[in-house]
């Protein structure tokens, strides 16, 4: 964010949600962002007045509108790819709850920016991206399940460099919005850490197999496990006269 200047198949899926709701939802929002940027370019009229102006009554509207406003196409492009990917992953990672989490991060990020930010117009969707990354990372840490921890490690691998966005190293970068998003994700990860175990990812098929039953002491293992074989044979004929001495 800148300020203005089949069942068997399911057993092998890592997560149980669908990617389609999050993908369509995020593409729709990115399209709105792009249309607003086209509108501002055509009419040469900025929308910075709809950003978050901290600690002012007029700046409260930015909590709703600021993520849709971007300074230029470079600013939008830097946020759009991560926004689509993270929102899509959210619908897979939290099936049935993803939209609640997304809207709560959306509102909390804007509210915290309004409380913590410096006097400027804070715009852009990067605060939301920070909130989603923070949610994924800390949920895995709080839940301490290997499937969720793998996503935490993925966040570190893909977005570890985002930590520099939390520092005031660029006067044109809203590090306050990045911090606000990170705090929002951390808070929601803590609140949802004990979400129903029904949301736990399925194990792989070989992990569901029951171990071999123990044989009680004193039992003959071969009698229990070995198949019973029945032989049918013809009795030998009594020896004839020619065989007698």
What mean pLDDT is predicted for residues 180-190?
Answer: 96
56 assigned to some structural domain? yes
As a whole number of angstroms, the distance between CA 140 and CA 112 comes to: 23
237 assigned to some structural domain? no
230, pLDDT greater than 60: no
211 assigned to some structural domain? no
Written as six digits, the tokens of 59 are 């700046």
- Segment 91-150, tens digit of pLDDT: 998 888 899 999 999 999 999 999 999 999 999 999 999 999 999 999 989 988 777 788
27 assigned to some structural domain? yes
Domain span holding position 75:
2-195
Domain with residue 190: its CATH number is 1.20.1540.10
68 assigned to some structural domain? yes
CA dihedral over 95, 98, 100, 104, signed as positive or negative: positive
106 assigned to some structural domain? yes
Q: Are 15 and 80 in contact (CB under 8 A)?
A: no
Per the structure, how many domains does the chain have? 1
238 assigned to some structural domain? no
- Segment 26-81, tens digit of pLDDT: 999 999 999 999 999 998 888 999 999 999 999 999 999 999 999 999 999 999 99
- Please tell me the chain's helix, strand, coil percentages from 3-state DSSP, rounded to the nearest 5: 60, 0, 35
Provide CB contacts within 8 A for 184, sequence distance 6+. Answer: 104, 105, 108, 109, 112, 131, 134, 135
Q: Angle, to 10 degrees, between the axis of helix 73-93 and the axis of helix 146-159?
A: 170
Predicted local distance difference test score (pLDDT) of residue 205: 41
What mean pLDDT is predicted for residues 200-224?
Answer: 48
CA dihedral over 118, 122, 125, 126, signed as positive or negative: negative
77 assigned to some structural domain? yes
């Amino acid at each position: 964010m800148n300020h203005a200047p089949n069942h068997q198949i399911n057993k092998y899926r890592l997560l149980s949600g669908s990617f389609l709701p999050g993908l369509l939802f995020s593409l729709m929002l990115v399209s709105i962002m792009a249309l607003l940027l086209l509108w501002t370019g055509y009419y040469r009229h900025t929308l910075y007045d709809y950003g978050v102006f901290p600690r002012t009554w007029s700046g409260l509207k930015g909590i709703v509108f600021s993520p849709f406003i971007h300074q230029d196409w470079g600013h939008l492009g830097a946020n759009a790819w991560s926004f689509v990917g993270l929102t899509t992953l959210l619908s897979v990672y939290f099936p049935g709850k993803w939209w609640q989490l997304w809207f709560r991060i959306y509102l909390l990020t804007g509210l915290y920016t309004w409380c913590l930010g410096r006097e400027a117009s804070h715009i852009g969707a990067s605060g939301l991206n920070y909130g989603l990354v923070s949610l994924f990372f800390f949920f895995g840490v709080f839940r301490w399940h290997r499937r969720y921890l793998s996503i935490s490690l993925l966040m570190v691998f893909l977005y570890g460099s985002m930590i520099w966005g939390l520092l005031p190293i660029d006067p044109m970068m809203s590090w306050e919005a990045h911090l606000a998003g990170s705090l929002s994700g951390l808070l929601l990860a803590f609140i949802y850490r004990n979400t129903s175990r029904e949301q736990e990812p399925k194990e792989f098929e070989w992990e569901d197999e029951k171990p071999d039953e123990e044989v009680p002491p004193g039992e003959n293992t071969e009698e229990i496990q070995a198949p019973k074989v029945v032989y049918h044979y013809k009795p030998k004929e009594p020896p004839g006269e020619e065989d007698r001495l």
